[in-house]
Amino acid sequence: MKMWINGEWCDAESGETLFTINPTTNEKLGEVPSADQADVDKAVAAARAAFPAWSARTQMDRSNVLMKIAGALAAKAQEMAEWDALEHGLPAKLAFGPSMASAGNFATAAMLARGINGELVKVSNPNAMFIMDRVPTGVFALINPWNMPLFLMANKVALCIATGNTCVLKPPSCNSIIGLKFAEVMASVPELPKGVVNVITGKGGKMGKLLSAHPDIDGISFTGATDTGSTIIADAAPTCKKCIMELGGKNPVIIRPDANLDAAAEVLTHHQFFNCGQACGSPGRYYIHESIMDDFLKVFLEKAAKYVPGDPMKDGTVMGPLVTTSHLNSVLHYIQTGIDEGATLVTGGKKIEEGELAKGNFLPPTVFTNVTPDMTIYKEEIFGPVAVMTTYTDEEEAVKLANDNTYGLTASIWTGNIARALKLGRGLTVGTFSINQHNCLGPEVSWGGVRQSGVGGREGGTCGLLAFLEEKVITISLDE
């Protein structure tokens, strides 16, 4: 496959390539260009050249183009879902939803952007008028994670270009084919001008540094691990780039004695094991009242047993492989560390080594109990199908434990008393929390966290659009 720069398909200037791997078989799936400095320079120059005309177009014009892209993505949703299954491992039947939601990201950004306006600022000076306008930032580098590749790429591109910016999109290395298939969809929309979106592929660390440090990049939108985000911020610091960072999470779940345990387990096992737990918003730490621990564990294990790993191309599969062998090994290392540090492994914990799945990165649902705050699996983001459970005695203790972490992304509270849940939620240091649900979000709602879970703006909704804009104040003298 080739990269998409300035509306043209091209190889890397060096001719170098890299392979992506099918996580189901660990066999080579495809070959893509491995970009270098020259390719980054070309893509950034194309975005820079396209910016004046694109930013000058009316919001109605830009929104109409986004609606065309939304339609093209919807038409290709099934094909994109199959590529998601092949290159990423999310079962194709389940991947169709995120593929359609990717089209929805463009449609929502198109509609919400129509409602963003400036404002008249009233001040104490009677001889002046102040108008606050909102204008595009410029050229963005969009650096994407591998856990929901198409959905997150579509979200970033939609928010970025809806507001008049142009961009260079860097897909995750291991999901480069999905990124270039996404480029094919955008290339099929003639209304999208050349250079507004450019898609380049290459090795993650190298490309991230080249884009973050590039003097002609005005802003960076990154989703991924906190340590990687810190590196990107450091690389961007010398040129004072705008950084929109959506980072990791170790998300607390508080289950009160009056919770509906069956409903809680149904939702929480879905979010724990969907996409093999490879989501920043997955449950990270379960705080279960000591009086209901045994009852909750029983129903949770019953629900978890439904998530049987399988070939993601088969209709009945509900959980595919982890994305790469290296990531599988990382999750297995966390599991062994949990065992070594004294946690109780209740189920799972070992790679599937027999049968037709033995060649792939398959790991069954894994549950730990008797986890204490000093343990590694309690403190660090595992990013896999591993549930980490502990108990609490009173709610004050639960909130204190939930906040005793470097992250602050999301949380959920399970109870029959909504008023009590709202009061508990006030005490949680997170960007969002749910009551009797977990991360039930839509494209109209902003997403992001505090502390080491995010900085510089939110993703999604009107707040996500505003993150890609700058405020420009216009002063008008009223002196005659």
Tell me: do 280 and 408 sit in the same domain.
yes
Dist. CA 126–CA 193, nearest whole Å: 45
Claim: this prediction has a pTM higher than 0.75: yes
- Tell whether 230 and 329 lie within a shared domain: no
Q: Which are the contacts of 73, defined by CB distance < 8 A and separation ≥ 6?
A: 80, 99, 102, 103, 106, 154, 185
Residue 467's closest CA among 126, 137, 225?
137
Same domain, 49 and 195: yes
Roughly what angle, to the nearest 10 degrees, separates helices 226-236 and 204-213? 30
- pLDDT at 250 > cutoff 90: yes
Residue 448 lies in a domain: no
- Domain for residue 418, yes or no? yes
At 124, is the pLDDT very low, low, confident or very high (cuts 50, 70, 90)? confident
Is-contact 456 244, C-beta < 8 A? yes
Instruction: Using alpha carbons only, give the angle 83, 168, 440 rounded to the nearest 5 degrees.
Output: 55
Active site residue 354: no
Q: Are residues 193 and 338 in the same domain?
A: no
Give the residue among 452, 408, 457, 404 at the shortest CA–CA distance from 227.
Answer: 452
**Active site (annotated) includes residue 276:** no
Instruction: Note whether 243 and 259 are same-domain residues.
Output: no
324 and 437 in a single domain? The answer is yes
Same domain, 94 and 215: yes
Measure the CA dihedral 359/356/311/22, to 10°.
30
Query: Which of 280, 381, 395, 459 is an active site residue?
Result: 280
Q: What is the rounded distance in angstroms from the CA atom of residue 407 to the CA atom of residue 450?
A: 7
152-207 pLDDT, tens digit per residue, is 999 999 999 999 999 999 999 999 999 999 999 999 999 999 999 999 999 988 99
Do residue 196 and residue 231 come from a single domain? yes
| Cβ-contact 186, 133 below 8 angstroms | no
Q: Domain total for the chain? A: 2
Average pLDDT of the residues in 372-383? 96
Output the domain CATH number for residue 109.
3.40.605.10
Nearest to 204 by CA among 383, 15, 24, 34: 34
**Could you tell me if 132 and 51 lie in one domain?**
yes
**Do 155 and 171 fall into the same domain?**
yes
State mean pLDDT over 366-378: 97
Angstrom distance (rounded) from CA 181 to CA 1: 9
407 is written with which tokens?
A: 């992250």
How are strands ordered across the β-sheet holding 3-5?
8-10, 3-5, 197-199, 166-170, 139-143, 219-223, 242-246, 454-455
pLDDT at 440 over 80: no
pLDDT given for residue 168 in this prediction: 98
Percent above pLDDT 90 for the chain: 93
* Domain-located, residue 17: yes
| Range 273-286 average pLDDT | 94
- Domain membership flag for residue 350: yes
Confidence of residue 362 (pLDDT cuts 50, 70, 90): very high
Tokens of 38: 């020259």
pLDDT digits (tens, 9 = 90+) for 69-104: 999 999 999 999 999 999 999 999 999 999 999 999
SS3 content of the chain, % helix, strand, coil (to 5): 40, 20, 35
Q: Is residue 88 part of a domain?
A: yes
pLDDT reported for residue 90:
96
For residue 293, tell me if it sits in a domain: yes
Domain that holds residue 371: 251-443
Whole-number mean pLDDT of the chain?
95
Instruction: Check if the beta carbon of residue 153 is closer than 8 Å to that of residue 73.
Output: no
Q: Rounded to whole angstroms, how far apart are CA atoms 177 and 85?
A: 12
Answer yes or no: do 262 and 241 share one domain: no
Among 246, 381, 395, 459, the one annotated catalytic: 246
Q: Is residue 71 in a domain?
A: yes
